[in-house]
């Protein structure tokens, strides 16, 4: 309701005209003081003292019991005192490492751990409640409520707060009474009408805040003399003001905050770090409370200010998780229904900036842009893919070398431009042919539609639209349109036995040169097209690397490793490692331009059909750019699949790597002319693979060194220490890598029964490996080739294709084991042995007999 009221006031003069857009009664209370010692409040003083006494007594009792029989509890007096307190303290976090020998001491510790568990749970729950739930309490014995003389609120106060009232005359008296509080003759709270409270808060919002109930505006009311002719005109004008948003502007202009800066609530001060959070409403479980609903309004208003004109914003509800874009109205509905992400207290994805960011504690900040017309977005993509056609490109080149325009590319550009400007059907203003295809293909990928399902719905849509529509009839035609955007792939036929690819000079052959197997399947003679026996998919790399620089979102980040990384001898990024630095020293020309891309390569097999087909295995090969910051380089958006093989290739993986290695050689030697959108100039982009990342079986495939048998270790090679133990080959001798004076070298029974006097092995350089491989004769690739490996080959199975790269032999680190598989195998072994799981435990009869034979 909107009310124009004329009333006498002690504050503004004899008569006051007030435009009330928010009616009702509110309460002014002092802002809650921040307390850095709030972490002590969950437990009372006597409980803190009791816990400390219990803490000391437990350590003392365990020490008295264990001291006569346990060496860990013996020593000098100072050491024993330290052991008592350290043991008790470490049990608080369940980190004690002292072994207990007496069952009575173990019982005491069990009781103490039970007490610690209860204390931790109670403390955590109480502290969380105190930090997230705002409570307003009034003690009837000491608190008093104030009100303004002449207000109608006197009646309700008399009814509900008998004898607890103060007579307040002005804003200054309001502030003085609330500052003094009830104990010093003031007031704990003041009840008044909301418009007057807003006037007061315009001056004193730093120290006080308003508590009010949720109210809505259902209409307009005015007080006029009976029969007044102004009623109709005023009502119409007020309606116009409301629709144009003038009322809100008037209120902000009249009641704006004077001389007060709220500051940056995302900055945590020393005092506020005690647990008081400015956005604690996010953790409020009651999503119907006034606090939570007001918080949603604040968030929506903040998002609107940061993104003026935007109709859609990221939805931070627990379901959308800041990944989906919704209308502002839907965002508010989602936040009430699903709740906001509890950890999203800094709204950086909606425009809030962080003042301090470092590489050790980096926060991903994405720019938030309003949703624009789909046709405009597609035009931006086309300009990224074909920068020579953009009118915004600076004609100046970094090296003054003119870049000729490829006629084929220009033809693709004209075709895409035609599809962008062509209406989906006559009179359609919302979608062009290209934007319709992009939207439909996006939905296909997002919701994992099969090609047949997509073809069906595409046909249905085509029949729904007017007959003269230009929508493609199936997925194949839609894919052809998108190929011009660099989103296509190449199909390369392969021998069914993995002997060779029908590629380059062998592209026109019909039979394999190794096994004489036919390239195509046997089909009916009437069939016009031949079906290949096996097909690999190759996704070219150059265009995708170029797109990283053609986009404003990633062009700057690609130089992060050189320009923004902090070099403080802490390993946060591969650029901090010695292998990266050695590469820079070996190839200074490549390292001189930080935009040159450094890639990692990974491959592994998986079964896409689950349990439906136990024998099928698909092998993708991925590359990923390490130029990006650590919080981006491993994101799925930047991991690029380059090769897709439909079965386990084994050591023949090199034939499937041939197209990729050829492209990598060209990227190293010649590079590719690329437009850098961050600088507005063209440059020559080069790329290099720094290393591979695989599990142990795939390690053998890409490195050429078999990881089976007595010489499976790719580091020790022929000098490996191995033996047959417990029914399998085991690898020992790890102590030789320790420093010469390490105490473990002298211990025998704790390890394999022998002391270790050997020096650590030297590392083979890449040039030495190449020289060794050049003297070996390997069998051709393929399943049908059977040839016994001579002893001179050691564990070499083939010469890796990567050694064709000019820089590969100079790398300090060529292959890595991925952490995930190593952790899983170690965990399975430890848990299986500790829990004695049948089939997984290593504590078997054979293992114990081997230990006895070795004298352990």
DSSP states of 112-152: HHHHHHHHHHHHHHHHHHHHH-------TTT--EEEETT-T
Residue carrying structure tokens 């020309």: 589
Name the domain boundary from 94, 110, 132: 132
Residue that is written with structure tokens 């874009």 in the block: 325
Q: Look at strands 672-676 and 681-685 and give their pairing.
A: antiparallel
| Whole-number Å distance between alpha carbons of 479 and 458 | 13
Distance between CA atoms of residues 424 and 820, nearest Å: 48
> Which of these three, 88, 114, 132, is where a domain ends?
132
Tell me the C-alpha distance between 468 and 426, whole Å.
8
Predicted confidence at residue 401, as pLDDT, reads 47
pLDDT in tens, 309-334: 788 888 998 888 887 888 888 888 88
Burial class (CB in 10 A: 0-12, 13-18, 19+), 623: buried
CB atoms within 10 A of CB 412: 18
Same-domain status, 663 and 712? no
**Do 650 and 795 belong together in one domain?**
no
Burial 167-206 (b: 16+ CB within 10 A, else e): ebeebebbbebbeeebeeebbbbbbbbbbbbbbbbbbbbe
- Give the Cα separation of 276 and 132 in Å (integer): 8
> Which of 325, 350, 375 is the C-terminal boundary of a domain?
350
Distance CA 462, CA 629 (A): 44
For the chain, state the CA radius of gyration: 37
Count of other CB atoms within 10 angstroms of residue 685: 22
Ramachandran area for residue 710 (φ above 0: left; ψ -120 to 50: alpha; else beta): alpha
The 220-221 sheet, strands edge to edge: 13-20, 2-9, 220-221
Q: Which domain holds residue 428?
A: 383-488
Token pair for 854? 């070795």
**Is the four-CA dihedral 116, 122, 125, 127 of positive or negative sign?**
negative
In the structure, how many helices (H) and strands (E) does the chain have?
Answer: 24, 21
In a domain, 570, yes or no: yes
CA–CA gap between residue 278 and residue 268 (Å, rounded): 10
**Who's near 757: CB < 8 A, 6+ residues apart?**
745
Question: Residue for token digits 């199909």?
Answer: 491
Beta carbons of 701 and 649 less than 8 angstroms apart: yes
Contacts of 498 (CB under 8 A, 6+ apart): 649, 650, 652, 655, 781, 782, 783
Q: What are the Cα distances from residue 435, in Å, to 379, 416, 417, 442, 544?
A: 10, 11, 11, 10, 21
Residue 548 domain-assigned? yes
Provide the token pair at 422. Answer: 């062509």
Q: What is the token pair recorded at 379?
A: 């035009």
Domain check: are 720 and 770 in the same one?
yes
Chain position carrying tokens 């007001």? 294
Query: Half-sphere exposure (CA, 13 Å, Cβ side) for 609?
Result: 10
The pLDDT assigned to 622 comes to 95
Structural contact between residues 2 and 247, judged by C-beta atoms closer than 8 angstroms: yes
Q: 138 lies in a domain?
A: no
Show Cβ contacts of residue 793 under 8 Å, excluding neighbours closer than 6 positions: 776, 778
Q: Are 722 and 658 in contact (CB under 8 A)?
A: no
State residue 627's pLDDT score: 92
Residues 689 and 703 in one domain: no
Could you tell me which of 740, 770, 629, 625 has the C-alpha nearest to residue 688?
Answer: 625
Same domain, 688 and 713: no
Residue 440 DSSP SS3: helix
- The first and second tokens of residue 407, run together, are 């006629």
The domain total for the chain is 5
Task: Supply φ then ψ for residue 688, to 5 degrees.
Answer: -145, 140
Q: Are 81 and 120 in contact (CB under 8 A)?
A: no
Look at residues 379, 318, 310, 313 and name the one whose alpha carbon lies nearest to residue 344: 318
pLDDT on residue 260: 36
Q: Are residues 541 and 685 in the same domain?
A: yes
d(CA 419, CA 274): 59
Task: Note whether 685 and 748 are same-domain residues.
Answer: no
CA distance 568 to 752: 40
The Cα 96–Cα 83 span in angstroms is 11
Q: Does 403 lie in the same domain as 457?
A: yes
Angle subtended at Cα 697 by Cα 693 and Cα 700, rounded to the nearest 5 degrees? 75
Kindly give the parts of the chain with pLDDT less than 50: 1-21, 133-142, 215-220, 255-277, 355-372, 390-402
Q: How far from 469 is each of 434, 438, 455, 459, 836, CA to CA, in Å?
A: 13, 16, 16, 12, 68
User: Up-side HSE of residue 441: CA atoms within 13 Å toward CB?
Assistant: 20
Closest Cα to residue 436, out of 407, 457, 411, 408?
457
Residue 584 bridge partners (DSSP) = none
Collapsing DSSP states into helix, strand and coil, what is residue 549? helix
Q: How far apart are CA 197 and CA 192, in angstroms?
A: 7
Residue 775 sits in the same domain as residue 710: yes
Collapse the DSSP code of 430 into the 3-class scheme (helix H, G, I; strand E, B; otherwise coil) and give the result. coil
Q: 668 lies in a domain?
A: yes
| Residue-wise DSSP of 652-680 | GHHHHHHHHHHHHHHHHHT-EEEEETTTT
Q: Which two tokens stand for residue 484?
A: 């011009």
666 and 772 together in one domain:
no
Select from 313, 388, 319, 386 the least CA-distant residue to 351.
313
Residue 77, domain CATH? 1.10.287.70
Nearest alpha carbon to residue 504 among 644, 653, 651, 658? 658
In this structure, is residue 759 part of a structural domain?
Answer: yes
Backbone angles phi, psi at 798, to 5 degrees: -170, 165
Question: 437 in a domain, yes or no?
Answer: yes
Tokens 């499937």 locate to 656
pTM for this one?
Answer: 0.54
Judge if 577 and 660 occupy the same domain: yes
Angle at alpha carbon of residue 804, lines to 799 and 809, rounded to 5°: 80
Determine, yes or no, domain membership for 145.
no
The SS3 of residue 274 is: helix
Query: 642 with 603, same domain?
Result: yes
Q: What are phi and psi of 729, to 5 degrees?
A: -80, 130
Does residue 142 form part of some domain?
Answer: no
Non-local CB neighbours of 337 within 8 Å, separated by 6+ positions: 287, 317
């Amino acid at each position: 309701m909107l009310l124009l009221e004329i009333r006498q006031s002690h504050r503004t003069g004899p008569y006051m005209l007030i435009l009330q857009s928010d009616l009702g009664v509110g309460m002014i209370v002092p802002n809650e003081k921040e307390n850095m010692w709030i972490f002590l409040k969950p437990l009372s003083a006597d409980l803190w003292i009791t816990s400390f006494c219990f803490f000391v007594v437990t350590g003392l009792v365990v020490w008295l019991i264990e001291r006569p029989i346990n060496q860990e509890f013996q020593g000098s007096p100072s050491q024993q005192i330290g052991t008592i307190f350290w043991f008790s303290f470490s049990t608080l976090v369940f980190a004690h490492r002292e072994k207990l020998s007496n069952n009575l001491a173990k019982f005491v510790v069990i009781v103490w751990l039970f007490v610690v568990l209860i204390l931790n749970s109670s403390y955590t729950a109480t502290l969380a409640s105190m930090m997230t739930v705002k409570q307003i309490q009034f003690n009837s014995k000491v608190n008093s409520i104030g009100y303004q003389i002449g207000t109608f609120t006197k009646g309700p106060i008399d009814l509900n707060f008998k004898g607890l009232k103060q007579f307040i005359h002005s804003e200054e008296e309001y502030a003085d009474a609330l500052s003094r509080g009830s104990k010093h003759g003031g007031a704990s709270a003041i009840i008044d009408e909301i418009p007057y409270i807003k006037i007061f808060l315009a001056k004193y919002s730093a120290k006080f805040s308003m508590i009010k109930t949720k109210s809505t505006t259902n209409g307009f009311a005015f007080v006029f003399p009976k029969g007044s002719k102004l009623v109709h005109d005023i009502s119409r004008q007020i309606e116009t003001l409301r629709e144009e948003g003038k009322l809100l502007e008037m209120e902000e202009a009249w009641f704006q905050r004077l001389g007060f800066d709220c500051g940056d609530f995302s900055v945590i001060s020393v005092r506020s770090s005690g647990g008081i959070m400015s956005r604690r409403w996010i953790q409020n479980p009651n999503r119907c409370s006034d606090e939570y609903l007001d918080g949603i309004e604040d968030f929506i208003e903040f998002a609107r200010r940061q993104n003026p004109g935007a109709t859609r914003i990221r939805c931070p509800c627990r379901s959308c998780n800041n990944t989906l874009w919704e209308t502002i109205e839907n965002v508010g509905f989602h936040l009430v229904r699903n709740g906001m992400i509890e950890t999203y207290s800094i709204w950086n994805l909606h425009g809030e900036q962080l003042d301090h960011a470092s590489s050790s504690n980096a926060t991903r900040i994405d720019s938030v842009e309003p949703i624009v017309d789909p046709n405009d977005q597609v035009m931006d993509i086309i300009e990224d893919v074909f920068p020579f056609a953009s009118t915004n490109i600076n004609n100046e080149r970094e090296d003054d070398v003119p870049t000729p325009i490829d006629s084929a590319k220009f033809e693709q550009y004209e075709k895409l431009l035609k599809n962008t400007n062509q209406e989906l059907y006559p009179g359609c203003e919302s979608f062009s042919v290209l934007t319709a295809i992009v939207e439909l293909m996006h939905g296909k990928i997002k919701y994992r539609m099969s090609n047949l399902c997509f073809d069906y719905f595409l046909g249905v849509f085509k029949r729904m639209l007017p007959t003269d529509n230009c929508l493609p009839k199936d997925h194949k035609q839609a894919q052809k349109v998108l190929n011009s955007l660099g989103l296509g792939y190449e199909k390369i036929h392969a021998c069914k036995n993995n002997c060779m690819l029908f590629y380059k000079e062998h592209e026109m052959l019909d039979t394999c040169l190794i096994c004489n197997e036919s390239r195509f399947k046997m089909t009916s003679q009437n069939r016009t097209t031949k079906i290949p026996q096996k097909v690999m998919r190759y996704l070219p790399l150059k265009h995708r690397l170029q797109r990283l620089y053609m986009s404003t979102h990633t062009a700057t980040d690609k130089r992060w490793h050189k320009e923004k990384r902090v070099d403080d001898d802490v390993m946060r990024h591969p650029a901090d490692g010695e292998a990266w630095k050695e590469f820079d020293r070996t190839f200074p020309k490549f390292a001189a331009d930080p935009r040159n891309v450094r890639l990692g390569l990974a491959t592994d097999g998986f079964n896409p059909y689950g349990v439906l087909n136990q024998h099928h295995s698909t092998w993708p090969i991925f590359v990923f750019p390490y130029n990006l910051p650590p919080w981006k380089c491993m994101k799925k958006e930047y991991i690029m699949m380059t090769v897709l093989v439909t079965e386990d290739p084994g050591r023949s993986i090199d034939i499937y790597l041939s197209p990729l290695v050829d492209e990598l050689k060209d990227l190293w030697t010649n590079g590719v002319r690329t437009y850098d959108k961050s600088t507005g100039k063209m440059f020559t982009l080069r790329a290099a693979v720094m290393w591979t990342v695989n599990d142990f079986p795939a390690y053998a495939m890409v490195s050429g060194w078999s990881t089976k048998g007595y010489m499976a270790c790719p580091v020790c090679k022929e000098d490996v220490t191995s033996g047959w133990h417990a029914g399998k080959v085991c690898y020992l001798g790890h102590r030789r890598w320790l420093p010469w004076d390490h105490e473990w070298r002298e211990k025998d029974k704790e390890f394999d029964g022998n002391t270790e006097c050997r020096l650590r092995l030297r590392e083979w350089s890449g040039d030495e490996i190449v020289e060794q491989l050049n003297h070996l004769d390997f069998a051709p690739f393929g399943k049908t080739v059977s040839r016994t490996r001579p002893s001179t080959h050691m564990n070499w199975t083939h010469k890796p294709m990567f050694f064709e790269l000019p820089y590969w032999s100079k790398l300090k680190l060529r292959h890595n084991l991925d952490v995930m598989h190593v952790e899983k195998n170690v965990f399975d072994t430890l848990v299986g042995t500790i829990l004695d799981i049948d089939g997984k435990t290593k504590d078997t009869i054979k293992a114990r007999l081997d230990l006895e034979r070795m004298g352990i």
